[in-house]
Amino acid sequence: MIECCQVSRRFLRTWALRDCGLAIPAGQVVALVGPNGAGKTTLLNLAAGLLRPTSGTLSVLGGLRPGSERARAGIGFVAQDAPLYRHLPAGAMLRIAENLNVSWDRPVALARLAELGIPLDRKVGSLSGGQRAQLALTIALAKRPVLLVLDEPLANLDPLARHDFLAALMAAVAQEGLSVVFSSHVISELEPVADYLVVLNQGRPQIAGAIDDLLARHRVLTGPTGEVPLGTRRFSVIQARQADAQTRLLVSTACGADAAPPGWISEPAGLSEIVLGYLRDPAATIMPVPAIAAASGREAS
């Protein structure tokens, strides 16, 4: 759905992305995670065709140029601030969107707003935050896109509105078979809905892979404080935390079920612990073969 080859983007003297190599597969719900300033919004704006790379190449939907007519028709994009005209009624926003898009399914948009209880004559500014988010999602879905790109869709929503938004998103994925890329800071909400994880850190992808695979290849080891006896084992220590009585390690291994060293306890690692462990060590990376190939300029397999 999105493929980057040595993509960099600079704003004045600041690099938002630097030599970004990434291949995001189709048919996935992809969670894009990273600290503020990591380049998440820049990457999504590049994919939507709103920005161009300073260097490198980026393609979408199997090789299309972002911003081209075919790419615009195939991508539904909801920006972080969900740009809607607050003084216009919801029905007028649908008419504007219909005039701006080559493909548009008005019956679907009307039916969806009716199901959500959003009146067409209600001004956008008088809608709740959750209703505005649902209106923006409705406009994106009514394009009948192949790829849905959402930039921080949950940022300004309360817990109930977040739940409703994610439920609506997953219903659309199930019905339409969409590919989805959405950025979020709320790691705990990602695991139930996302299939694939991309972590950006300091303008580069640090982790990319199927969430089930990432969970399978990471363990938490707990043992006595002191030297860590991992020299003969196929472990890579991502993060080590030591207290007076014990050491706690986040490790990656090709064999997640490997037994712990003598005197150590091995437990599964949660998604939040994996993400936070990597973010605390920008030098640690896990990237699949296609992404590595894209980064080096070779054709991804």
CATH code of the domain covering residue 72:
3.40.50.300
Task: Give the residue from 157, 184, 210 where a domain finishes.
Answer: 210
194 and 249 together in one domain? no
- What's the domain range around 100? 2-210
Query: Same structural domain for residues 147 and 83?
Result: yes
Q: Categorize the per-residue pLDDT at 99 as very low, low, confident or very high, splitting at 50, 70 and 90.
A: very high
Portion of the chain with pLDDT greater than 90, in percent: 59
Among candidate residues 19, 61, 208, the one with its CA nearest the CA of residue 149: 61
**73 and 191 assigned to the same domain:** yes
Q: What is the pLDDT of residue 158?
A: 86
Look at 40 and 282; give whichever has higher pLDDT. 40
- Assess if residue 291 is contained within a domain: no
Residue 206 and residue 223 in one domain = no
Same domain, 123 and 222: no
Q: Tell me: do 165 and 248 sit in the same domain.
A: no
Beta-strand pair 147-151/218-224: unpaired
Residues 154, 14 share a domain: yes
Position 257 scores a pLDDT of: 54
Per-residue model confidence (pLDDT) at position 231: 52
Q: In this predicted structure, what is the pLDDT of residue 233?
A: 56
pLDDT of residue 237: 84
Residues 174 and 237 in one domain: no
Residues 206 and 229 in one domain: no
* Residue 182 within any structural domain of the chain: yes
Q: Is residue 301 part of a domain?
A: no
- The pLDDT of residue 229 is 58
For 279, the token pair is 């973010």
Whether 192 and 144 share a structural domain: yes
* Pure H helices in 49-105: 69-74, 90-100
Are both 204 and 238 inside the same structural domain? no
Instruction: Supply 227's token pair.
Output: 């030297």
Per-residue pLDDT at 93 exceeds 90: yes
Number of Cα atoms under 13 Å in the Cβ half of residue 146: 15
In a domain? residue 300? no
Which of 170-184, 195-209, 232-246 has the least mean pLDDT?
232-246
**What is the rounded CA–CA span in Å between residue 168 and residue 250?**
35
Rounded to whole angstroms, the Cα distance separating 23 from 42 reads 16
| Statement: residue 262 has pLDDT above 50 | yes
pLDDT score for 234: 65
Which of 210, 241, 256 is the endpoint of a domain?
A: 210
Cα separations (Å) of 270 from 33, 39, 40? 15, 24, 23
pLDDT in tens, 126-145: 999 899 999 999 999 999 99
Contacts of 247 (CB under 8 A, 6+ apart): 222, 223, 224, 225, 226, 228, 240, 241
Q: Is 246 left (phi over 0), alpha (psi -120 to 50) or beta?
A: beta
* Euclidean distance between the first and the last CA atom of the chain, given in angstroms as a whole number: 14
Of 71-75, 80-84, 174-178, 291-295, highest mean pLDDT? 71-75
More reliable by pLDDT, 31 or 262: 31
Distance separating alpha carbons of residues 22 and 32, to the nearest angstrom? 12
Total of domains in the chain:
2
Per-residue model confidence as pLDDT tens digits over 275-300: 999 998 888 888 764 443 444 443 33
- Residue after which a domain boundary falls, among 178, 210, 242: 210
